Amino acid sequence: MSGDQVRADRAGLWFGPQPDVAGASGYPDAPPRMGFFTDTSVCIGCKACEVACKEWNAVPEDGLELTGMSYDNTQGLGADTWRHVAFIEQRKPFGGQQPGVSHDDVDVFAAASALGTDAASPGPGATTPPAGAAPAGAPAGEISPVSPDGRTELRWLMASDVCKHCTHAACLDVCPTGALFRTEFGTVVVQEDVCNGCGYCVPACPYGVIDQRKDDGRVWKCTLCYDRLGVGMEPACAKSCPTESIQFGPLEELRERAAGRVAQLHASGVTDARLYGESPDDGVGGDGAFFLLLDEPEVYGLPPDPVVTTRDLPDMWRHAAMAAVSLGALAVASFARRPR
Amino acid sequence: MSDSDVTREGLRGERTQREALTGAKAGRRRHRRGRGGRGGRGGRGEQPMVPEAEFSSYYGKPVLNKPTWKPLDIAGYLYLGGLAGASSLLAAGAGVTGRPALARPAKLGAAGAISLSLVALVHDLGRPARFLNMLRVFKPTSPMNVGSWVLSGYAPLALGAAAVDLTGRARRVGSLATAGAAVLGPAVATYTAVLLADTAVPSWHEGYRELPYVFAGSGATAAAGLALAATPAAQAGPARRMAALGAALELGTFQAMKHRMGLSAETFEQGKAHRLLRAAETLTAGGAALAVLSGRLRDRRLALAAGAALLSGSAALRFGVFHAGVASAKDPKYTVVPQRERLTAREG
Ligand code: SF4
Ligand code: SF4
């Protein structure tokens, strides 16, 4: 436990909660910490954010390919993708229960050819059963098949991912040149004229965000539109989001809003809803960009329990120092004459 | 074209190959904890310790961005740093105990290796000015920054020591430089372990407690190998002992590291990393044995063979560790499963 004690003492510097991120980085009168709250429950996967980000920040095209894995052809965050919309197609298992109805034995083509010929048929163009004709357990007027709790069996999860602007950002901590810095808004930004392309920040980021651009060797990532923030504008992605899935504002306020949204979703029976990255007690001291998810983080390609690597850095230096001493001792032993 | 090419069986004239997988089927993969028992030598035939766990990922895509470092540059850089650092220790010891024939190759080895390692680093960065860029700040949270400072202190000392040895002039300065290089040498050899461990790459980070010792041992075997190959048997005694001690340190701590690491040790036992690390083990152990034998038999050819084996064994170790890390970053399993287990344990 003493190790934890030592850690707690150092907390705030390299890991743990840090209420005044900008202040700790030397901004005495910093504005409130700004961030993103991405509510994936209302995301419609339109990718307006991806496009707006590219346009505003002049991010180059990064390969126009069809991956075939889903509607997501961007695949992940990288040097030339600062916003990435994930599409997850799910057959959601219903806790071992069968959905209200099963159409396994129904030949839909035969059924379609009989459309309009049957008195009971709603006729062409109808997509939902009329009220009262719905199978037991399904709310009237909804698409079947539905589960007893009223949701369709196949669902799409969409989530717009971005740099988390971590409270304790591994990328920033390990950068040997100081190219990555903390802004007065508490966000993390790369200065492209200082970055020397060592690539150290790339494997350091526990979220797989920052990456090296092949042709210039330097690294790039979301700046939370630092240039726009400076003149009181909101980031391009948030501005362009038609459903307000991406919300921008003071982090404190966003956290409150997010807690309210989760409560609302839980009350209406969406028990999967959970926040990700909002807690100042998590392994990175809380994210400046956090999310409302409808499934486990790893389903969206996010790490379930990320920890900033610098939490262990004092330990690492200690072990390296002891190893260096051992090497010295080993050399001394090599020169010491063996006792005869 | 009045009718569609799409029929119930798929495109007309084509046969549906497979059904697209969605959700639960596409994203979730079975993960088998096959590595029971000790040493991890193929888990075949053993019962899994825990029932197969399901783990989710986003279409099998990695969670982390994989290191962009070029293997030859960076693994080479790690190797040469170890070789240089430990060589400086041999050089200083040889100076103190009056073994000029051991001191010279050790000093030249240290100077050559550190120059080459800087070349490798600059090559990875793209241009020399970028190395100097790293000295614009001092940042203890960045092992690469600390390393740059250590190197810029060490390299002139190692080069100076070698130059004095070759020219025979300014001997007082020479012994100061030799001593200075010996003080900084061990740091040059071990800081590279922190360089790798201070990342989110599972197979590098998880081993952070033992990796510096592995690198220290591996640096010692490399330096001993070089000295053995270039020193007459009469003065090579310390190099032989360093080979044996270094091999014991490297191999012992590497085993301990694998045992402690859990799932992320798996990448040490797979693919390219496995082949390299198995070679490293054989070469280092064999090289150390040959080194001891060469002392007994006073045979130059044996010493040469021992030196070659030790040098290549140490290189294979660095490349093996490098590739294992890259492999662990590419597979989301190594990121997700341990974190999920940690989370579940914490939530009770
Ligand atoms: S998510 Fe990664 S790139 Fe973004 S601030 Fe955190 S560590 Fe840096
Ligand atoms: S690649 Fe650039 S931003 Fe990243 S650690 Fe190196 S110098 Fe810093």
* Residue B338 CA, ligand 2 centroid: distance in Å: 28
Token pair 């270094």 is found at B246
**Residue of A88, A198, A213 to mutate when probing chain B, most B C-beta within 10 A:** A198
Query: Taking phi first (over 0 means left), then psi (-120 to 50 degrees means alpha), and beta for anything else, what does residue A58 get?
Result: left
Per the structure block, which two tokens stand in for B142?
A: 């960045």
Which of A35, A320, A268 lies closest to A169, judged by CA?
A35
Per-residue pLDDT tens over the stretch B41-76: 344 444 445 545 578 899 999 999 999 999 999 999
For residue B324, what is the domain's CATH number? 1.20.1630.10
Cα–Cα distance measured from residue B111 to residue B166, given in angstroms and rounded to the nearest whole number = 12
Query: For B97-142, where are the alpha helices, taking DSSP H only?
Result: 100-125, 129-133
User: Would A131 be classed as within a structural domain?
Assistant: no
Angle value at C-alpha A67, between A63 and A69, nearest 5 degrees: 150
Annotated binding site of A for [4Fe-4S] cluster: 43, 46, 49, 53, 163, 166, 171, 175, 195, 198, 201, 205, 222, 225, 237, 241
Domain that holds residue A219: 20-93+156-308
Per-residue pLDDT tens over the stretch A204-259: 999 999 999 988 889 999 999 999 999 999 999 999 999 999 999 999 999 999 99
Q: Give contacts of B22 with chain A, Cβ < 8 Å.
A: 89-91, 154
Cα–Cα distances in Å, from A219 out to A48, A240, B313?
Answer: 24, 25, 34
User: Would B19 be classed as within a structural domain?
Assistant: no
Per the structure block, which two tokens stand in for A80?
A: 């030339």
Cα–Cα distance measured from residue B322 to residue B272, given in angstroms and rounded to the nearest whole number = 10
Average pLDDT score over residue span B193-218: 97
Which of B31, B20, B19, B21 lies closest to B56, judged by CA?
B31
Q: Nearest chain B Cα to A314, which residue?
A: B141
Average pLDDT score over residue span A89-105: 55
Cα–Cα distance measured from residue B206 to residue A141, given in angstroms and rounded to the nearest whole number = 54
* Residue B78 CA, ligand 2 centroid: distance in Å: 19
Given this model, what pLDDT does residue B288 score? 97
Report the number of distinct structural domains present in chain B: 1
Given this model, what pLDDT does residue B126 score? 86
User: Would B61 be classed as within a structural domain?
Assistant: no
User: Would B55 be classed as within a structural domain?
Assistant: no
Higher pLDDT, A21 or A99: A21
Window 273-302 of B, Cβ < 8 Å to A: none
Per-residue pLDDT tens over the stretch B316-333: 999 999 999 999 999 999
Per the structure block, which two tokens stand in for A44?
A: 């419609």
Given this model, what pLDDT does residue B18 score? 41
Domain that holds residue B269: 71-331
Looking at CA atoms only, how far is residue A48 from chain B in angstroms?
21
Looking at the CA of residue A204, tell me the nearest atom of ligand 1. 7
Q: Roughly how many angstroms between the first and final C-alpha of chain A, as a whole number?
A: 46
What ipTM describes this predicted complex? 0.86
Ligand nearest to the CA of A164: 1
Predicted confidence (pLDDT) at residue A277 exceeds the cutoff of 50: yes
Predicted confidence (pLDDT) at residue A287 exceeds the cutoff of 60: yes
Give residue B22's pLDDT band: very low, low, confident or very high (50, 70, 90).
very low
Token pair 């389903």 is found at A299
Q: If DSSP codes are grouped into helix, strand and coil, which group holds residue A114?
A: coil
User: Would A83 be classed as within a structural domain?
Assistant: yes
Cα–Cα distances in Å, from A305 out to A72, A255, A276, A308, B28?
Answer: 24, 19, 10, 10, 18
Which of A221, A181, A191 lies closest to A205, judged by CA?
A221
Cα–Cα distances in Å, from A241 out to A87, A227, A339, B161, B308?
Answer: 16, 19, 78, 64, 62
Q: Give contacts of B151 with chain A, Cβ < 8 Å.
A: none
Give residue A147's pLDDT band: very low, low, confident or very high (50, 70, 90).
low
Give residue A148's pLDDT band: very low, low, confident or very high (50, 70, 90).
low
Q: Roughly how many angstroms between the first and final C-alpha of chain B, as a whole number?
A: 63
Q: Do A333 and B245 touch (CB under 8 A)?
A: yes
Q: Do B24 and A92 touch (CB under 8 A)?
A: yes
Give residue A12's pLDDT band: very low, low, confident or very high (50, 70, 90).
low
Strands B28-31 and B53-56: antiparallel
Ligand nearest to the CA of B65: 1
| DSSP annotation of B43 | -
Report the number of distinct structural domains present in chain A: 1
Predicted confidence (pLDDT) at residue B197 exceeds the cutoff of 60: yes
Beta bridge partners of A276: A291
Q: Do A315 and B209 touch (CB under 8 A)?
A: yes
**Residue of A157, A193, A330 to mutate when probing chain B, most B C-beta within 10 A:** A330
Predicted confidence (pLDDT) at residue B4 exceeds the cutoff of 80: no
Given this model, what pLDDT does residue A114 score? 67
User: Would B116 be classed as within a structural domain?
Assistant: yes
How many CB atoms sit inside 10 A of residue B169's CB? 9
Average pLDDT score over residue span A137-154: 51
